[in-house]
């Protein structure tokens, strides 16, 4: 896999906020408490010491490429955890031997995958795991078990988050702990809009790293929109040649998309791609003008175009070929078909559409016209052995959807929308809605289950997504806009709602943001907390190409 540039934190970072050795910020971080909060965590008292120079992961049972990649990845995470100290020596002081709370060295974490690996993450995959560190049944040892590779991935992330740096910055400590964990919801997503602003592949991979650290498992790739068409199609190359901001360097080639899919796959993240129609398609018309509806002023075309033309049979021929290519490229079972915010003004002005609607006895009922279009597109995806996700307007307008179709709710009342189809929620997790001073708490108090309705309706909720629309966001501020606000949504979607408390979460989130910054991304500061990279601490943030041996400049 191609190496990419990443943000590298050099010299001393996070010193005061992470280890609490000075006055620090207004919020005192926890030490070795995971995010999102596990379903059950028991501390047995005492701790074990991890010496990175001798520590190993030992695979006891099944293995596969996903597990082997993960082990290598988390070796690197553990190594970076000590980078701040500038030393990986385990031979200084060894003061912990005199500490009554010290119980053993943890030189190995046994990994027991109970069943063969699955190749691809999917909706309703089993992410349950159990992690025991020096517990009564696993004394002086560590054991991670799961029936699935997806559970092993989540458990490895939790293990990495349990590690804390000792007082001398020489070794890592882990509390004697037993954890039993699984997600509250199966769909825990993050949407990125790559049409309004283009994001190079390294920026997307960095976002996926953050998703892994927060146990988010769906990357919703809103890949095209009115503004640009960066998806490079082999069947219709003119779409990106004319519709991308720059057809040479602001497109996603098939190699690019495969790289994102693979990078996500080995982290247990599904890639849900969205092609939003019939609205939000102005960029499509630059490459294939006949796809869009000609708008009229009086009896003559006015030179502008509206949504996709729903009465042109060639529209459906083109879209079926395009979606066949998309379904073949993206292994995810679901494709997001959009269907939101369709303006009817252009359709209303077009005399051919007026004739069509009169012939089909739907005169002036443009919701019915939209329903005819969406119905055919949904049926096309079913014909290609795929399943659909649609924005809620499609359901609201009465389209007869296959039972497996998922409705994506972004506005209005949950109870009204939950009628026979599974749903995901984004109403309260729009990351483009920014308030000064930090607003993660507003994302944290959102509860997808907080609506009146029948027990059956509550069971229809699959989870939710935080949405990063990109009108005012680009690669320079993506990480700071997404994190840690999306961390709040991630914990709500994973953890037991009855265990969530803003005051308690604030200290864990302070530690978690620092932990994420140490791994590589730079994130927005929490409300009321001074900059983690404060003037009292030596730091430098540089962009480094991992392929280069030269010092970053």
Using alpha carbons, select from 391, 4, 80, 8 the residue that is nearest to residue 220: 391
Q: Which of 402, 301, 333, 302 lies closest to 186 in space, CA to CA?
A: 333
Instruction: Specify the DSSP class assigned to residue 159.
Output: H
Tokens of 61: 């049972």
Query: What is the C-alpha to C-alpha distance for residues 10 and 123, in angstroms, rounded to an integer?
Result: 39
Q: How many other CB atoms are found less than 10 A from the CB of residue 514?
A: 21
Question: In this predicted structure, what is the pLDDT of residue 548?
Answer: 36
- At residue 83, the pLDDT reads 62
Rg (CA), the chain: 25
Residues found in the chain? 553
pLDDT band at 24 (very low <50, low <70, confident <90, very high): low
With beta carbons less than 8 A apart as the criterion, state whether 527 and 439 touch: yes
The stretch 143-158 carries a mean pLDDT of 98
* Band (417; pLDDT cuts 50, 70, 90): confident
**pLDDT more than 70, % of the chain:** 87
pLDDT at 97: 80
DSSP-assigned beta bridge partners for residue 335: 388
pLDDT tens digits for range 509-545? 999 999 999 887 455 544 333 222 222 222 222 223 3
436-465: pLDDT as tens digits: 667 899 999 999 999 888 899 999 999 999
Dihedrals phi, psi of 488, to nearest 5 degrees: -60, -45
| Helix (H/G/I), strand (E/B), else coil: 400 | coil
Q: What is the pLDDT of residues 115-131, one digit of tens each?
A: 999 999 999 999 999 99
Instruction: Return the pLDDT at 526.
Output: 44
User: What are the residue numbers of the active site?
Assistant: 341
d(CA 41, CA 26): 27
């Amino acid at each position: 896999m191609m190496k990419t540039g990443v943000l590298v934190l050099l010299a001393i970072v996070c010193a005061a906020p992470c280890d609490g050795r000075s006055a620090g910020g207004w919020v005192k971080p926890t030490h070795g408490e995971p995010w999102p909060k596990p379903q059950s965590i028991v501390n047995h008292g005492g701790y074990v010491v991890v010496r990175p120079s001798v520590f190993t992961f030992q695979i006891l049972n099944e293995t596969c490429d996903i597990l082997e990649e993960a082990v290598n990845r988390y070796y690197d995470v553990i190594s970076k955890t000590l980078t701040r100290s500038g030393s990986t020596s385990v031979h200084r002081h060894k003061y912990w031997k005199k500490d009554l709370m010290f119980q053993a060295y943890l030189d190995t974490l046994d990994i027991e995958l109970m069943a063969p690996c699955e190749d691809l993450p999917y909706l309703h995959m089993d992410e349950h795991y159990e992690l025991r560190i020096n517990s009564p049944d696993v004394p002086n040892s560590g054991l991670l078990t799961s029936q699935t590779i997806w559970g092993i991935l989540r458990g490895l992330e939790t293990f990495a988050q349990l590690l804390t740096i000792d007082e001398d910055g020489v070794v890592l400590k882990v509390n004697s702990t037993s954890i039993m964990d699984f997600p509250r919801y199966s769909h825990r997503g993050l949407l990125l809009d790559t049409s309004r602003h283009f994001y190079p592949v390294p920026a997307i991979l960095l976002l996926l790293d953050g998703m892994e650290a927060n146990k988010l498992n769906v990357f919703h790739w809103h890949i095209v929109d009115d503004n640009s068409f960066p998806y490079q199609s082999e069947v219709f190359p003119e779409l990106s040649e004319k519709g991308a901001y720059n057809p040479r360097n602001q497109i996603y080639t098939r190699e690019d998309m495969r790289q994102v899919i693979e990078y996500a796959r080995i982290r247990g993240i599904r890639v849900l791609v969205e092609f939003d129609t019939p609205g939000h398609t102005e960029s499509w018309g630059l490459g294939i003008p006949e796809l869009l509806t000609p708008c009229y002023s009086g009896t003559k075309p006015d030179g502008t175009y509206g949504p996709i033309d729903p009465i042109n049979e060639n529209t459906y021929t083109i879209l079926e070929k395009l979606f066949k290519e998309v379904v073949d490229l993206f292994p995810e079972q679901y494709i997001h078909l959009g269907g939101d915010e369709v303006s009817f003004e252009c359709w209303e002005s077009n005399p051919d559409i007026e004739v069509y609607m009169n012939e089909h006895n739907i005169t002036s009922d443009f919701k019915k016209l939209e329903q005819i279009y969406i119905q055919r597109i949904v049926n096309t995806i079913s014909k290609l052995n795929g399943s659909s996700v649609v924005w809620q307007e499609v359901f609201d307008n009465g389209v007869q959807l296959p039972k497996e179709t998922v409705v994506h709710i972004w506005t209005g009342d949950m109870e009204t929308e939950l009628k026979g189809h599974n749903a995901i929620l984004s109403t309260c997790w729009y990351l483009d809605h920014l308030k000064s001073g930090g607003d993660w708490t507003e994302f944290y108090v959102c509860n997808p289950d907080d609506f009146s309705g029948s027990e059956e309706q509550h069971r229809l909720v699959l989870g939710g997504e935080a949405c990063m629309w990109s009108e005012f966001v680009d690669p320079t501020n993506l990480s700071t806009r997404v994190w840690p606000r999306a961390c709040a949504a991630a914990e709500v979607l994973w953890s037991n709602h009855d265990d969530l408390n803003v005051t308690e979460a604030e200290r864990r989130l302070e530690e978690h943001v620092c932990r994420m910054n140490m791994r590589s991304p730079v994130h927005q500061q929490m409300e009321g907390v001074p900059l983690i990279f404060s003037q009292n601490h030596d730091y430098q943030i540089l962009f480094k190409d991992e392929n280069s041996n030269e010092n970053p400049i």
